[in-house]
Structure 1
Amino acid sequence: MTGVLPGLGWSVAEPAGMHHLVSLAQGPQRDPLGRDGRLHIEESIDVCQQARSITAWQQLYDQLKPGQFHGYLAEIWLDGMQCFEEHTSHALRQSCMVWPGSVWIGIPASSEHFARIGTTTIDADAVAIRGGGVEFELGTPDNFHIMGLVLARGELESCTSILHGEFLHLDNTMVLNVGSERMRKFTHFMRTMLQVAGDGSGQLLEQGCRKQLRHELLDGLAGMIDDARPNRQNIRRVDSAWQAVAKAREYVLDRSGEPTSIVELCEHLDMSRRTLQNVFHQTLDICPLAYLKSIRLNAVRRELLAPYSQYDSVQQAAAALGFWHMSQFSQDFKKLFGELPSASLARRALAKHGTAIHPASSQAPYGHI
């Protein structure tokens, strides 16, 4: 259930810890598939498939709103540096982890609605930075675009130290206000790079071109974060609200097989029912019961799709997450994901037999290879 390749030292704790991520070893220093300079494109109509689409990451996505999901990823590797653009159609709660020893820079390309990393809002002129090997939570709105750059942490620290004349102290999680014009220039540069990689000319297959492009990316990144200001404008009330939402999800998933009531949740979070309602409407514009149901539905779906799941039937997986009314469960499942739970389970069987299921084709902005 992760965006992970065999042999890269990554794992999802299983089966009880299926909904958590685990870092086991140093990650890849180069593209583990040997695709340097080649554009890799994934299009999906499934939130679990989207979570698996990016190379060498671990990710778990929870879809929070009903309707047919559409996702897109364009990715290229440049001798150990990973660059990508991702689009997701629906609001998501994401658990993410990039490989140890690396650092991820996330640059939102959607300005209408803000994303968040942990409890920190990523404003329209801000970028998110996160060190590898540690799980973090990302919340994204409907119709969201983000550019991503992953490289060795030491390379970024060394580059910025030389170019800025001082050492860049990277916290595990940072949100930096860099200015909209600098962001615009850098994202335009990255999109141009992806277009060149997908135009069929083969320029980026040449080592000299990849090396020059890496230099320009590092220089552009250093210029973008030069004089950047950490985002410290969060209101404590908002921070605590997001923390409560995250604790609620973990409480539900850690108690699989023991359905959680609102009374138990209020007691666990030490807040009243009205405060709980306000917290969820303030952060996600959804009531607590609807949110908890969507989290459990996503958890069942991961079990149905996972080849290593301990559950062999829809009824077993649903019961483990507290769904006792199978007819209602099937209706809720189809409303959220656009397919019956039996269809998800059938896709597990097809995957075991090596039968690929491709989403409906759409016109990708960078072409296909």
Structure 2
Amino acid sequence: MYVNHEVFNDADRHAAALRGWEQRYDQIGAGVFQSAVKQVAVEGVQVFQEAANVRVVQRGALPAGYTTFGLALGGSAPFSFRGARLDQDAMVITAGAKEFMLHSPADMSLVGVAIDPGVLRMVADAAGIDVEDDLFYRDVIDIPRAAGMRVGRRLVETMERVLAQPALLGNAQAERRFAHDVAEGILDLITYHVPGQSNRLTHACQSEIVRRSHELVLASPEEPVSIFDLCSALRVSRRTIQNSFQSIAQTNPANYLRSVRLAQVRRLLLASRQSDVPVSEAAACWGFTHLGHFARDYKAQFGELPSQTARRL
């Protein structure tokens, strides 16, 4: 495991900070260079966010043995990667140790992911996603802007939770879950380039998928169930999971699963005294380890902070 967050006033030091990358940054824009790099790496997966205030050209070779992805979160102009335009409607997707040149605009923010193809394949197989190999040699693919921003923010939030509490990756199981969460985010975007399959499930079958998913959440209170977990346990594809929740509950599976866990926390708060079960303990009982995010989600769900929930005993 490798966890790091640094700020720089020199482009060469910034370039050298990205673990496992052979590259050089040349400052093109005028002004005092200011930048930051956040990165988390576990076996098979590296995630990083880099930001810089002036235009830079990045040159080097992509990490050998990995498939590399990149999402532009912001910048004063589009990026250019290996001769292809990269903005918030596109994603870098390329395999192998290719030489590259990336022109980064001023005020840029970029999320990068390097994944062992075996990890990506395992998660894709579990989700029932059949990805053609030629997709990974296109350099840049189009994606919906909203989807790209959503996944980009999710990757940053996942990384920042670890940066705030490195102990969250204190064992091999936690590292695997982190790797799977990252791979799932990337697969969310790849599926826009996977031919769709007709949905032949009956309403009853979709309802059963949602019911069993609900039961799986209740059976694993301290360890949140991911979409990957559902695909593995129910032996259905990610697309089937998504279609079933949309049809039955008119929401996406992640929101549904989080709502079920929030409901259990609220039930626990209402059934206990503050002195017996503090809010932090109630949240932890249902897998909410980041109290700030938990309080935000709780208020959005119930219209009040968890500390405001009346204790009836």
After TM superposition, the score normalised by the length of structure 2 is 0.57
How is 1:181-220 mapped onto 2 (pairs within 5 angstroms)?
181-200=146-165, 202-220=167-185
Contact 1:158 1:167 in 2 (8 A): no
Letter in 1 for 2:30: P
Alignment counterpart, residue 79 of structure 2, candidates 91, 97, 115: 115
Contact 2:70 2:112 in 1 (8 A): yes
C-alpha distance in 2 between matches for 1:142 and 1:52:
20
User: Could you tell me which residue of structure 2 aligns to residue 355 of structure 1?
Assistant: none
- CA-CA distance at 1:201 after TM superposition: 6.1
User: Could you tell me which residue of structure 1 aligns to residue 145 of structure 2?
Assistant: 180
C-alpha distance in 1 between matches for 2:130 and 2:42:
26
- CA-CA distance at 1:145 after TM superposition: 0.4
Letter in 2 for 1:90: V
- CA-CA distance at 1:165 after TM superposition: 3.0
User: Could you tell me which residue of structure 2 aligns to residue 223 of structure 1?
Assistant: 188
The answer for unaligned runs of 5 or more in structure 2 is: 195-313
More helix by share: 2
User: Could you tell me which residue of structure 2 aligns to residue 134 of structure 1?
Assistant: 98
Matched positions, count: 193
C-alpha distance in 2 between matches for 1:195 and 1:123:
23
- Range with greater deviation from structure 2 (178-187 or 53-62): 178-187
Alignment counterpart, residue 80 of structure 1, candidates 37, 44, 53: 44
Letter in 1 for 2:130: G
Contact 1:128 1:174 in 2 (8 A): yes
Give the direction of change, closer, same or farther, for the CA distance of 1:63–1:168 in structure 2 (3 Å limit).
Answer: same
User: Could you tell me which residue of structure 1 aligns to residue 66 of structure 2?
Assistant: 102
C-alpha distance in 1 between matches for 2:89 and 2:25:
25
Contact 2:155 2:185 in 1 (8 A): no
How is 1:1-369 mapped onto 2 (pairs within 5 angstroms)?
36=1, 38-110=2-74, 112-157=76-121, 159-160=123-124, 163-200=128-165, 202-228=167-193
Give the direction of change, closer, same or farther, for the CA distance of 1:140–1:102 in structure 2 (3 Å limit).
Answer: same
Letter in 2 for 1:212: R
Letter in 1 for 2:173: G
C-alpha distance in 1 between matches for 2:64 and 2:167:
31
C-alpha distance in 2 between matches for 1:171 and 1:130:
5
Contact 1:157 1:167 in 2 (8 A): no
- CA-CA distance at 1:171 after TM superposition: 4.4
Give the direction of change, closer, same or farther, for the CA distance of 1:157–1:116 in structure 2 (3 Å limit).
Answer: farther
> CA RMSD, aligned part only?
2.1
Give the direction of change, closer, same or farther, for the CA distance of 1:201–1:214 in structure 2 (3 Å limit).
Answer: closer
Name the SS of the counterpart of 1:195 in structure 2.
helix
- CA-CA distance at 1:216 after TM superposition: 2.0
C-alpha distance in 2 between matches for 1:227 and 1:168:
15
Letter in 2 for 1:39: V
Give the direction of change, closer, same or farther, for the CA distance of 1:77–1:150 in structure 2 (3 Å limit).
Answer: same
Q: Residues 157-209 of structure 1: CA distance to partner in whole angstroms, max 9, x if unpaired?
A: 55446632343424444211111221122112212112211223611223222
Higher relative contact order (CA 8 A, sep 6+): 1
